[in-house]
Chain A
Amino acid sequence: MADIRNNFVGIKSPNPFWLASAPPTDKAYNVERAFKAGWGGVVWKTLGEEGPPVVNVNGPRYGAIWGADRRLLGFNNIELITDRSLQINLQEMKQVKMNWPDRAVVASIMVPCEEEAWKAILPLVEETGVDGIELNFGCPHGMSERGMGAAVGQVPEYVEMVVRWCKQYSRMPVITKLTPNVTDVRRPARAAKNGGTDAVSLINTINSITAVNLDTFSPEPSIDGRGSHGGYCGPAAKPIALHMVAEIARDPETYGLPISGIGGVTTWRDAAEFMALGAGNVQVCTAAMVYGFKIVEEMISGLSNWMDEKGHKTLDDFAGRAVRNVSDWQYLNLNYVAKAKINQDLCISCGRCHIACEDTSHQAITKEKDGKRHFEVMNDECVGCNLCVNVCPVEDCITMEALAPGMLDERTGKIVSGEYANWTTHPNNPAAKVVEPAE
């Protein structure tokens, strides 16, 4: 049985599945239920400074996009940080941590970008005995208009400055949560590292409008006929999150900086992918909000079984294993040649591969043979683009088969080389470092 215990910047939890700072972690009631269900840790919903709590809209806070069967694919929200008083949150956090000493409890904090504000709240949080803090530099709506959340996260200098204050005024591990609403996520990550952060977590939600009501012409979710951009998350956001995690994981300046992966984690497989790309653990929100806390049972069981099957004894055995395979395009092997292959026994003859290829790609799939409906790849036309694989409704019916070195590529008429060669040395590249033939 695989050991899935997690140690993230010294914060221990029985598994790597944490609930992200969000409605599911708003109060003791929810968090206790989450721990009973088996979650390894929580990042408590973001605390603000003392004073009158923030207010939320009293209409819809959430929007979504769905598949035709109403499966939720993407989700967004315009909810703000906790709207409960700081004191109540602190009391509950303290009690919950006492009740569940083996689980991770991390406090998310967002106060104005002033040293005094951070200096004031940090001791109050530290006193509760929670395991660490997460700096909410990501919330893209509402709070950012007041100079907090993403408004801080989008300015690397602010990020570094606040992280520095937190390290200065607290002994707790600091996790800096990053916003994806930037052009290059490595910059705030580097800033956080320079400020002394123990880790980064990402991504926070993405600026979004989920839909427009075509009767009222209001964006969704609609508050009395108007809408505001909200934070997008859920399964549809995962590829964006994976990319940003990978960018930080492989950036020489932040290499080795612990990362808590967030963004559309719905199953054990998603979690394993984030961890393979360099995340030390994952945080989940949307999946829990859609299905309830019970889903963590599937995540624990699925991850353990996969690790057993692959012989990974601990999380460290596979964590970061995909990072080295993330590359700039220019270093991809241009001598690698693959062709699509259609398994005729599995093919149900829907013809989607043909029409996709015919209309939009390389005219490399037949539609008939001997007057009969028949779909087959023409190797002399196929560029190996993978579109047919992606549109085929039957799993594993179309596969990409690599041509072994020495084989003929019927499209180019050239023999496949076993040598690795990339764009930097390609003859078509004006900037290529041409190797002059020896005299």
Chain B
Amino acid sequence: MVQGLLKDGIVAGRLAPEQYAENFSDLHPPLTHHEAIVEADRCYFCYDAPCMTACPTSIDIPLFIREIVTDNPLGAAETIFEQNILGGMCARVCPTEQLCEEACVREAAEGKPVKIGQLQRYATDVAMQKDVQFFERGAETGKQVAIVGAGPAGLACAHRLSMHGHTVTVFDARPKAGGLNEYGIASYKSTDDFAQAEVDYVTAIGGIDIQTGKALGKDFSLADLTEKYDAVFLGMGLGGVNALRAEGENAVGVDDAINFIADLRQASDLSSLPIGRRVVVIGGGMTAVDAAVQSKLLGAEQVTMVYRRGKAQMNASEFEQDLAAAKGVTIRHWLAPKRVLTTDGRVSGLELSYMALDEAGALKATGETTTIACDQIFKAIGQTLSSDGDGVELAGGKIAVDAEGRTSLAKVWAGGDCATGGDDLTVTAVAEGRDAAESINRFLSGH
């Protein structure tokens, strides 16, 4: 056993150097050509396919799978990218078991859906590795569009606008483009710097200028943009993190899961990343699972996810929950943080209240408590808009938009996690960015 494993506190280098590479390798190694053909052959080419209906970007899944079977992976990639230019990342991070693969008729038939996500990755990998571009920039319209946020929504919007011939400037507060694809997703889902490769692939169409390190509300205001540009798309995601509202949450060792995930993605040497011996992750979503699993992979001895409701209410998919369990994460339900226990200003434990639903169905503390000893606590209890909206109307803490992504302000559209509507998923953000671009284009061309 490596000595670092049992060290108390938050320390780096818990594992042997080679162990890091193994732990953070590709979660789903890509399908080989033969595996892809055999898997693709399982597709029934359904009429009005349920998988396609379940896909937020409405990719023609039966068609692209049939193109794989007939040894036409480029045709398959084009079919995918027509609907979803970030089809490569979606193939890696989509909770397919809740979307296309849940709807697959072979799930109904035998509990084993066609591996649509992996097939999508196979086809998109072929095209991206060969750097085949399927779309051309439209004839210049002279119209200028500003996009805030170079995440999935912003990139999808930018690409579609460029196809229509508009000139796009994308501002992003972070040093790199990609948004949550670059900063917010577990490393083992996006290996080999895929997020940046995808940014390059998407922007290769031309007419898209990405300016990083430029934040809304700091470097420019929304009014600046509406004045200078013909249209604006807001896709900056949720920059703020919800407060725990538990005593002691400012102690050393209480961190935001989203920052931990970002640091991990940006680290050049994983052995330099400190992690607690005993870690508690608060939350029940994908971010909580990503943080919990990666804590374990960095060498934490005990990792516990606590969620205030039951298994059925968790936002993390069944697959993600199973993945966490398989990696040795303990998931505990019906527990809400009450008090962070500290020793010398450092986290030493977390006191939790047992929760239950009362007769009216409201979540209530039962009065009983328990304590989990830990050195580190990650908060993954949801994110918030980091600004007050800068004059755009909000609804439920998000930018209110209509079905086309239009906000309350003229010339301003929004999509992705920062806007209302849809789940907070990469694929949903892509759909919203793409559809907003179509709406913007109709507006700019006077339709």
Contacts and interface: CB of A to CB of B under 8 A. Distances in A.
A350 B46 contact: yes
A70 B41 CA distance: 11
B44 A352 contact: yes
Give the dominant DSSP class at B's interface: helix
Contact of A68 (B41, B47, B106): B41
A69 interface: yes
B108 A349 contact: yes
Interface string B37-64: 1101100111111100000000000000
B109 interface: yes
B43 to A, nearest CB: 10
Give the dominant DSSP class at A's interface: loop
Contact of B41 (A69, A349, A355): A69
A394 B109 contact: yes
B109 A351 contact: no
Interface string A378-418: 00000000000000011000000000000000000000000
B38 A348 contact: no
B48 A351 contact: yes
B108 A352 contact: no
A354 B44 CA distance: 13
A351 to B, nearest CB: 3
B38 A68 contact: yes
Contacts of A350: 44, 46-47, 105
B47 A352 contact: yes
Contacts, number: 39
- Residue of A69, A350, A351, A367 contacting most chain B CB atoms (<10 Å): A350
Contacts of A371: none
A393 B109 contact: yes
Contacts of B49: 351
Interface in A332-374: 348-352, 354-355, 367, 373
A437 interface: no
A133 B97 CA distance: 62
The 6 closest A-B pairs by CB, nearest first: A351-B47, A68-B41, A355-B47, A348-B105, A350-B46, A348-B109
Interface of B: 34, 37-38, 40-41, 44-50, 69, 105-106, 108-109
15 contacts: A68-B41, A69-B38, A69-B41, A348-B105, A348-B106, A349-B105, A350-B44, A350-B46, A350-B105, A351-B46, A351-B48, A351-B49, A352-B46, A373-B48, A393-B44
Interface of A: 67-70, 348-352, 354-355, 367, 373, 393-394
Given A70-B34, A351-B49, A355-B47, 15 more contacts: A68-B38, A68-B40, A68-B41, A69-B38, A348-B105, A348-B109, A350-B47, A350-B105, A351-B47, A352-B44, A352-B46, A367-B47, A367-B48, A373-B50, A393-B44
